[in-house]
Amino acid sequence: MAGKAKPINLSGEERVTLERLARARTVKHREAQRARLVLLAADGVTNREIALRLGMSAPSVRLWRNRFAEERLAGLKDRPGRGRRPIYTEADRARLITTVCTQPPPDGATHWTVRSLAAHTGVARSVVHTILRQERLQPHRVKTWVTSTDPEFETKAVDVLGLYMKPPENALVLCVDEKTAIQALDRTQPTLPLRPGQVERRSFEYKRNGTTSLFAALAVHQGEVVGQCAPRHRHEEFLHFLRLLARTYPDQELHLVVDNLSTHRTETVWRWLRRHPRIHLHFTPTHASWLNQVELWFSILSRKVIRRGVFPSVKALIQAIMDFIERYNQEGKPFQWTYTPQRLQEQLISRTKH
């Protein structure tokens, strides 16, 4: 049989402290529960009744009542080492992080996996997964970058950014580029439509029905797009697109932001531009296509039309692209460009210092 419950007599200070803990919303639930337990015990409530009121087991009530009787308020705190002990040490953590960050997998693989790290370090898979997540290490992912070596990078970039932030009066700024070799892909079987609880399904096999290249010009401050598809992307096609832009905007000075593709710099193109002095080309620095805003629009086109599109012919692909341009122009808005010449100069200064 359980022994007789120890009587609890509280001092005024102890009662005030326990009542504050019992009412507090910022302490842990178990600490507030223990405070209420002692207060009930001091009021003469039996252990069985306390257990019923607080939703605790009778042995737990006896444990905390006896601890308070022997150690007073200090007895209500958790003993050191409470809770589940970690199944790995800080040395294991450091060894795993060092391995994944500095050593290649011994089997010749390009990157570590949870399984290979567990086998190599002797740490359980679940622990490896936990540590990688906590340290935000993702060995299966990789990012790429490219640094422009253009000696005129700053001059060209500031020129382009100036067109974006403060365009010439009575002039139109157009970002021009080509999206080449767009494939008209068809599936070998009909697509199964989306259903509740089931994604759209399509056959793995596909067939190629040819390609087209899209020449596009984005009006930076209006948000509208002019597009033209061609079977190739030589300087002849680029010149044909320039003529289209000249006809589309017959009464304005045009400033065209283009990249350094060789087809943009042929003598034939320069001769045509000399005969049309209202049209000016502004070249982005090499390896800096991100400065050309039409690349943002190409990304939208790819996501919404091309990537998951099914096209039985090149003609169908071209029609889908031109239809999208028409719809886009009805609701399109200028991109909110935030990269300024001042920000560019700050980054260049910071890079020089380092």
Nearest to 229 by CA among 109, 317, 132: 317
Hey, which residues does 257 pair with through a beta bridge? 175, 282
Same domain, 218 and 168: yes
Query: Is 83 inside any structural domain?
Result: no
Domain boundaries, position 27: 12-76
For 98-141, how does the pLDDT look when each residue is reduced to its tens digit (9 = 90+)? 999 999 999 899 999 999 999 999 888 999 999 999 889 999 99
One domain for residues 27 and 160: no
Digit-coded pLDDT (tens) for 247-269 = 999 989 999 999 999 999 999 99
Percent of the chain with pLDDT over 70: 95
Residue range 41-73, pLDDT digits in tens: 888 888 889 889 888 888 888 888 888 888 888
Any domain includes 4: no
Q: State residue 1's pLDDT score.
A: 41
Looking at the structure, do residues 312 and 181 belong to the same domain, yes or no? Answer: yes
Instruction: Find all residues with CB under 8 Å of 100, minimum gap 6, and list them.
Output: 112, 117, 132, 137, 139
CA 72/CA 9 separation, integer angstroms:
10
What count of Cα atoms within 13 Å lies in the side-chain half-sphere of residue 89?
5
**Do 345 and 239 fall within a single domain?**
yes
Question: Which structure tokens are listed for 76?
Answer: 């209500």
CATH number, domain of 29, equals 1.10.10
Which range, 46-55, 142-151, 205-214, is most confident? 205-214
163 shares a domain with 127: no
Residue 7 domain flag: no
Q: Is the pLDDT of residue 326 over 80?
A: yes
DSSP structure class, residue 82: -
> What is the number of other CB atoms lying within 10 angstroms of the CB of residue 136?
6
Average pLDDT of the segment spanning 200-217: 92
Q: Are residues 67 and 96 in the same domain?
A: no
Give the tokens for residue 279. Answer: 């049209």
**Pair (184, 293) in one structural domain:** yes
pLDDT at 350 over 70: no
**108 shares its domain with 65:** no
Instruction: Judge whether residue 8 has pLDDT over 90.
Output: no
Q: Identify the sign of the CA torsion 308, 312, 313, 317.
A: negative
- Domain membership flag for residue 166: yes
Better pLDDT: 21 or 282: 282
- Domain annotation covers residue 99: yes
- Our separate counts of H helices and E strands in the chain read 13, 5
Residues 310 and 162 in one domain: yes
